Amino acid sequence: MQHLITTADFTNEEILKLFDDAKLFLDLSSNSLLLGKLIVTLFFENSTRTRSSFEIAAKRLGAAVVNLEVQTSSTKKGESVEDTVANLNAMKPDAIIIRHRDCGLPASLIEHVDCPILNAGDGTNAHPTQALLDLFTIFEHFDGEVNNKKLAMIGDIKTSRVASSNLELLPRFGVEPILVAPEHFMPKTDFKKVQFLKETIDDVDIIMSLRTQLERHEKIYYKSLEEFGKDYCVTSQSLGDRDILLLHPGPVNRNIDISDEMLKDKRCKVLEQVRNGVAVRMAILKKLILKQ
């Protein structure tokens, strides 16, 4: 049984095959590949894109979806997530998608189920489907020629699970990350690091902006997000007329992560990432449920 807990669960070859499938699904039209299948989603953390993207992907493939309302579920009566999932598993779903604030929780569920577990984000640890859709967007943009491309990752890299999954995945395909952040948002890694975007803007082909994960911080690092934005917001001035692909996983804090003007700029592919996300998740659900 194959699960998707981190991007390391798929080989490069499997990912390229996944992308071939995602391309076929890009018009997001409906088919019946998963007709008769049932997928359960459990979101213990807030979500707009990931939850709706998974649900739409499942429905476009003809599967039925049950969203467990975790606010009113038995975990609120003291049941452990492991027991909740074991009970759901007894109802024979074909896949379980879970988001939870505890790092490692999705991995710990594997021994309690007979169907694939898909990690939709566990704390600061991993968000594999986001990294896969980001890489797919980069592949699409550069027509598959991604080797040796340089990507500036900017913002709260240390606490972002999108960052950690991308830092595992991108280098496997030859995309070199350059980390742009103040010291307290910088993870301990060997990747190249700079403090400000202007130090590396002339070297990069791609910028990935990230949201400041205030809800995961134990300390207050800035008086306000506006203060942080003064140094780290991606603006038309910072890009100039450079040919750079601008990405962000969402939700975007406008004029803190990316300026209003840049969000409208055609170099900014945030909504393309969202559309690609449905196609990539369709390909992932097909792979894990049909084992093909």
| Partners of 209 in the β-ladder | 154
E strand segments, the chain? 38-43, 64-68, 95-100, 117-122, 150-154, 176-180, 192-194, 206-209, 245-247
Place of tokens 């952040």: 181
Among 60, 127, 269, 281, which residue sits at the site for ligand NCD (rule: CB under 6 A)?
127
Among 15, 33, 65, 162, which residue sits at the site for ligand NCD (rule: CB under 6 A)?
162
Contact between 28 and 279 under an 8 Å Cβ cutoff? The reply is: yes
Between 49-60 and 128-141, two packed helices, what is the crossing angle to 10 degrees?
70
Give min distance, CB of 122 to ligand NCD, in A: 10
Give min distance, CB of 211 to ligand NCD, in A: 4
Q: Measured at CB, which residue is nearest to ligand NCD? A: 211
Give min distance, CB of 216 to ligand NCD, in A: 9
Name the token pair of 215.
Answer: 């809800």
Give min distance, CB of 50 to ligand NCD, in A: 4
Contact between 160 and 186 under an 8 Å Cβ cutoff? The reply is: no
Contacts of 230 (CB under 8 A, 6+ apart): none
Q: Should residue 6 be labelled a site residue for ligand NCD when binding is judged by CB under 6 A?
A: no
Q: Should residue 155 be labelled a site residue for ligand NCD when binding is judged by CB under 6 A?
A: no
Q: Should residue 281 be labelled a site residue for ligand NCD when binding is judged by CB under 6 A?
A: no
Q: Should residue 211 be labelled a site residue for ligand NCD when binding is judged by CB under 6 A?
A: yes
Give min distance, CB of 120 to ligand NCD, in A: 8
Q: Should residue 249 be labelled a site residue for ligand NCD when binding is judged by CB under 6 A?
A: yes
**Positions in the binding site for ligand NCD (CB under 6 A):** 49-50, 121, 127, 130, 161-162, 211, 249-250
